[in-house]
Amino acid sequence: MKLLEGRLITVSNRLPVEIKHRGGQSRLSRSAGGLATALDSIWRFCHGIWVGWAGAVDSGSGEHLLEKASRGRTFSFKAVPLSRDEVSKFYSGFANEIIWPLFHDMPSRCDFDPEYWEVYQRINRRFAQAAGEAASGKDLVWVHDYHLMLMGRYLRETRSAARAGFFLHIPFPAPDIFEKLPWRKPVLRALLQYDVVGFQTDRDHCNFLSCIERILPEARSSRDESHTKVVLEGRCTRVGNFPISIAFEEFANHAASHDVEAAAQQFRHELGNKYLVLGVDRMDYTKGIPERLKAFRILLRRFPELRHRVTLLQVVVPSREEIPNYKELRREVELLVSQINGEFTESGWVPIHYMHRSLTRKQLVTYYRAADIVLVTSLKDGMNLVAKEFCAAQVDESGVVVISEFTGAAAELQHGAVVVNPNDLAGVAEAIHRACVMPLEEKRSRMRLLRDIVRTYNVQSWAEAFLNAVLMAEPAVVGAAGSSGEDTNFPLIASSSPQNLKSA
């Protein structure tokens, strides 16, 4: 990686730690989720500041806790305060009732409330001011995810000279979907204020360029070896795909530890001689949990010989419970679980073990190690780290990945995994059956391939690729026609991602 002379200023909606107020007392806890896990390992190589919301509303009293939490770390925390009303309109509203469903191709779930847009702009400006105050010219600002798409624009307004990159963790939709957004132009224009805009997959990268072509036809594009350059009003943005990954060795070592091995054996012993199918998801309608349960019901109906011999362990982590859609989803999931268990349970066998809570890392890795099959049926998913974590934890190399074609991970893992269309419930049932009866040698050769991919394209190589792209960014302003004079029509994609290498 090119040397970062200054500091890394990471900006995300939430800090990786959360302040909770209870009974007049403030406490700090780790916040859950893929982003916090992924970035944890990056800080070993850089120092800097993490800017984000600390969880508690109208807080101020938690500053000393954040200060304490940063002791012994290579970075400190800078909290951006949000009021209850702002959390409701910015986070639950604009981010999670507009952008989240829209970008996951579910526009009918959107509530395009104009007040949400007002608050989204205000909060993005506040985040930009916080990052702008913290960053000097040599620093690099790395902004994460859909909550902060406008920050690039406001960061320029603070006159910050720091280079700035944006990474989108969720999918980017095709133009027919994106153009439903009433604020499509300002959002695209703001994204083009970053030096680098990164996506999870070629498909997202392509969709973004197609949206620019349709909505901002005045923008010009050209390509170099690995990225597309987009020039708008004299400013050049590099666009690329950078599939996120996991800390492979950490997961693999944890899974191989004596503790986890003993816990996995104990769990397998209690389960008896059964195929263990594992699902791990946040409670979210994009994850296809009802579809998975229905497919499992079809499996038990069509392959009666598997009754008593297969168990689905479905872990669902509570998420966004303040949003009505999410409450309804929980009811639907729990009704399906009880219907299926009611239909098939017999003495000594309950087909679905359902957990609605967050597990410790050790429990999670134990289940990854113990399971025969991981079942990922997202209707749409930026990447899906669970599939990659499962591969890392499969130190015995005998597990099978059954994964939806609509995840970013499927683009990388398709040659070793069994790929399904999550809307094809009978097809998913067939795929689970196939995974159950697959010969051990085939399972092993598939899992070896998957583990090689995840080991090679790990979270560190992801971060290095992204940060290098930002460090290579040209000075903020270039000639309006682009520096190389090689402008071409859209779309032009050049990718150095594992998605282009995996089939080798």
**Catalytic positions:** 169, 381
For residue 288 the two structure tokens come to 């296809």
Closer Cβ to ligand GDG, 101 or 132, answer by number: 101
Asked if 111 and 325 touch (Cβ cutoff 8 Å), the reply is no
Pairing of the two strands 228-232 and 235-241: antiparallel
Helix (H) or strand (E) holding 373: strand 373-376
Closer Cβ to ligand GDG, 156 or 330, answer by number: 330
Chosen residue from 10, 13, 37, 458 binding ligand GDG by CB under 6 A? 37
CB of 31 to ligand GDG, least distance (A): 11
Size of the site for ligand GDG (CB under 6 A): 23
33 touches ligand GDG by CB under 6 A:
yes
Dist. CA 387–CA 403, nearest whole Å: 8
For residue 52 the two structure tokens come to 């984000």
CB of 477 to ligand GDG, least distance (A): 31
Closer Cβ to ligand GDG, 155 or 280, answer by number: 280
34 touches ligand GDG by CB under 6 A:
yes
Residues in 345-404 at the binding interface with ligand GDG, rule: CB under 6 A = 358-359, 361, 364, 381-386, 389
CB of 414 to ligand GDG, least distance (A): 16
For CA atoms 126, 127, 128, 131, give the dihedral sign.
positive
Dist. CA 390–CA 387, nearest whole Å: 5
Closer Cβ to ligand GDG, 205 or 282, answer by number: 282
Pairing of the two strands 25-30 and 17-22: antiparallel
The Cα-based distances of 303 to 244, 433, 437, 490 in angstroms read: 37, 8, 12, 49
CB of 16 to ligand GDG, least distance (A): 12
Query: Residues near 241 by Cβ (< 8 Å), separated by ≥ 6?
Result: 198, 199, 200, 201, 202, 204, 205, 495, 497, 499
Helix (H) or strand (E) holding 266: helix 258-271
Chosen residue from 6, 32, 41, 88 binding ligand GDG by CB under 6 A? 32
CB of 21 to ligand GDG, least distance (A): 23
254 touches ligand GDG by CB under 6 A:
no
Closer Cβ to ligand GDG, 37 or 241, answer by number: 37
444 touches ligand GDG by CB under 6 A:
no
Closer Cβ to ligand GDG, 32 or 471, answer by number: 32
CB of 453 to ligand GDG, least distance (A): 15
- By CB atoms closer than 10 A (0-12, 13-18, 19+), residue 441 is exposed
Three-state secondary structure string covering 401-463: EEEECCEHHHHHHCCCCEEECCCCHHHHHHHHHHHHHCCHHHHHHHHHHHHHHHHHCCHHHHH
Radius of gyration of the chain measured on its C-alpha atoms? 23
Closer Cβ to ligand GDG, 38 or 337, answer by number: 38
For 95, the 3-state DSSP assignment is helix
Residues in 187-216 at the binding interface with ligand GDG, rule: CB under 6 A = none
Residues in 265-324 at the binding interface with ligand GDG, rule: CB under 6 A = 280, 282, 315, 317
244 touches ligand GDG by CB under 6 A:
yes
Sheet holding 220-223, edge to edge: 75-79, 48-53, 8-14, 140-144, 163-167, 196-199, 235-241, 228-232, 220-223
Closer Cβ to ligand GDG, 110 or 478, answer by number: 110
Residues in 137-176 at the binding interface with ligand GDG, rule: CB under 6 A = 169-170
CB of 342 to ligand GDG, least distance (A): 26
CB of 37 to ligand GDG, least distance (A): 5
Phi and psi dihedrals of 5, rounded to 5? -70, -40
Closer Cβ to ligand GDG, 280 or 333, answer by number: 280
CB of 447 to ligand GDG, least distance (A): 19
Buried b (16+ CB within 10 A) or exposed e, 296-334: bbbbbeebeebebebbbbbbbbebbeebebbeebbeebe
Query: Residues near 31 by Cβ (< 8 Å), separated by ≥ 6?
Result: 14, 15, 16, 17, 18, 55
Among the listed ranges 26-34, 76-84, 146-154, 467-475, the one in contact with ligand GDG (CB under 6 A) is 26-34
Contact footprint for ligand GDG (CB under 6 A): 32-35, 37, 169-170, 244, 280, 282, 315, 317, 358-359, 361, 364, 381-386, 389
